[in-house]
Chains A and B, each alone.
Chain A
Amino acid sequence: MTQIEKIRQEFPELGEQVYGKALVYLDNAATSQRPLSVIRKWTEMSEKYNANLHRAVHRIADLATSEYEATRDAVQTYLNAEFREEIIFTSGATASLNLVAFSFGEAFVHEGDEILVGEAEHHSNIVPWQLLCLRKGAVLKVLPVDDSGRLRVDLLPGLLTPRTKLVCVAHISNVLGLVNPVKEIVNICHSKNCPVLVDGAQGIVHERVDVRELGCDFYAFSGHKVYAAPGTGVLYGRRALLEQMPPYMGGGEMIGTVRWSGSTWAPLPQKFEAGTQNIAGTPTLRPALEMAEALRCEAAEAETDAIKKLILNKLQSDPRIRLYGVPKTPEEKIPLFSFSVEHIHHEDLALILDKMGIAVRSGQMCAEPLMDRFGVTGMLRVSFAPYNTVQEAEYFITSLDRAIKMLEG
């Protein structure tokens, strides 16, 4: 058994069949599959440690709280954050981004101020900023991408003004799969005293994230895309900023004291963790990040490199196919490929591939402005995880050709 086969056995869903065919799961950018270690932790939390956190003095509550807080330590270590209270647990990247949009906005954004977002952002990194701008009378500005999908970082210095309060970019676009030069972006923004938020929903899966090395002020990601339970997520925020931001939601353990005359807030990180937390889910982040680390092994990396080469070669050599997010070098791109096929609707291709046992994504991929930028109503996306194999990539390529032939009629 190869090392990849061994890894795959850890993910029960990968052994499933659809329409009597082996499932080939290539929709990892939407959500990853979960390993047994995560599933076990998830059920263990419900079977053995089910109590509410931080409140009661009883034994089970104590154990549940320990699991939860140990997870915070693990995430802090993983991200190399300076302080453990810089790790806020949320329900996902979307919640993390909305938290910043509200609380950072309340503290720092006023009428006429500007927020700058990348053109290739997911709706979750667009709409919260639009809401903030509506609330505050602020202005949303866009950092464009070029025709190959690369962020126009060269335009960044010119777009930053003394009124730019925050720059929001994805570490890796969920449509283009190109790794953005976050360090360079941070350097440019910090030289003008503007903080940077990074949407790491895809980045956390494919890059080794070190928030101190990146230098960003916020880093948001979801658990479910990086092997953890759904409904889990993280917001890393620089302590000095988080301390100045008011709470996002009220209630639960986020309070200091509550009086009719007014309330005070708990210190970080509880200030931002209102209400009952995802008791069973959040602790799965620990085995999930351990898996992410384990998947950075040579065997999986070699497999991914081979997959990238195969797919890029196919998508760039077939004249019927238009690839979005064209890398200069393979290192610039994660194994995520959005494309369209001449005269064929993306939805038709997705339906036929599904019947062949291949799960792919079709449509706007929560990035309508980017669809408009490329003049399409949608795209087809295949996104690989480190547990996908070269055989699966080969099967996808033959199936794609077969599907195109069927649909061309």
Chain B
Amino acid sequence: MKSLQEAQAEVVADFSMYDEWLDKYEYLIDLGHNLEAFPEELKTEDRLIKGCQSRVWLDATVEGDRLFFRADSDAIITKGIISLLIGVYSGRTAREIAEDDFSFVDKLGLRENLSPTRANGLASMIETLRRTAQNQL
């Protein structure tokens, strides 16, 4: 498995390949479509990430000291964003996730290109991942 830093650098490199924002969104849409199917019975209120305009569910399972994430959203771009995040963090140790500063997200330039309410949604996703890891320590 790649190191966390390597995985983050790879996502940043992939994302920066596209000059046009429309192409970056196309990339996110692809990620969204390719995300592993999420079981309907897991779409529960307690798995909903609060603060997003569209509905986003996040499920975490623990195996040993590692956390595995699954997610879904009823909006495909949001699904692409959460897919990008869990692609980087799923399968890592709780300590690694809890101690990360998530600054690679800033390098994507996503925040600036989302409306303030959607940027809040992104912040909520990050916060949920961090808190889930924190709770395992």
Mutual binders A and B = yes
Q: Which residues of A contact B (CB under 8 A)?
A: 19, 344-345, 347-348, 351-352, 355-356, 363, 377, 406-407, 409
Q: Which residues of B contact A (CB under 8 A)?
A: 21-22, 25-26, 29-30, 32-33, 53-55, 74-78, 118
Residues of A contacting B33 with CB < 8 Å? 409
A352 near B78 with CB under 8 A, answer: no
Assess A356 versus B22: contact at CB under 8 Å? Given A363-B53, A407-B29, A409-B29: yes
Assembly CA distance A377 to B55 (angstroms) = 10
B contact face: mostly helix, strand, loop, or mixed: helix
B22 near A355 with CB under 8 A, answer: yes
A352 near B54 with CB under 8 A, answer: no
The residue in chain A whose Cβ has the minimal distance to the Cβ of B114 is: A351
A406 near B29 with CB under 8 A, answer: yes
B22 near A407 with CB under 8 A, answer: no
Assembly CA distance A300 to B21 (angstroms) = 34
Assembly CA distance A19 to B33 (angstroms) = 25
Assess A345 versus B22: contact at CB under 8 Å? Given A406-B29, A407-B29, A409-B30: no
Residues of B contacting A352 with CB < 8 Å? 22, 25, 77
A406 near B26 with CB under 8 A, answer: yes
Residue of A351, A352, A356, A377 with most chain B CB atoms under a 10 A cut-off: A351
Assess A345 versus B21: contact at CB under 8 Å? Given A406-B29, A409-B30: no
Assembly CA distance A19 to B22 (angstroms) = 10
B75 near A348 with CB under 8 A, answer: yes
Apart from A355-B22, A356-B22, list 6 A-B contacts with CB within 8 A: A347-B118, A348-B29, A351-B25, A352-B22, A377-B55, A409-B30
Report 12 cross-chain contacts, Cβ distance below 8 Å, ordered by A residue: A19-B21, A347-B53, A347-B118, A348-B29, A351-B77, A355-B22, A355-B25, A363-B53, A377-B74, A406-B25, A409-B30, A409-B33
Residues of A contacting B76 with CB < 8 Å? 344-345, 348, 407, 409
A347 near B75 with CB under 8 A, answer: yes
A345 near B74 with CB under 8 A, answer: yes
Please tell me which one of the listed residues A345, A355, A406, A409 contacts residue B75 in the complex, with CB atoms under 8 A apart. Answer: A345
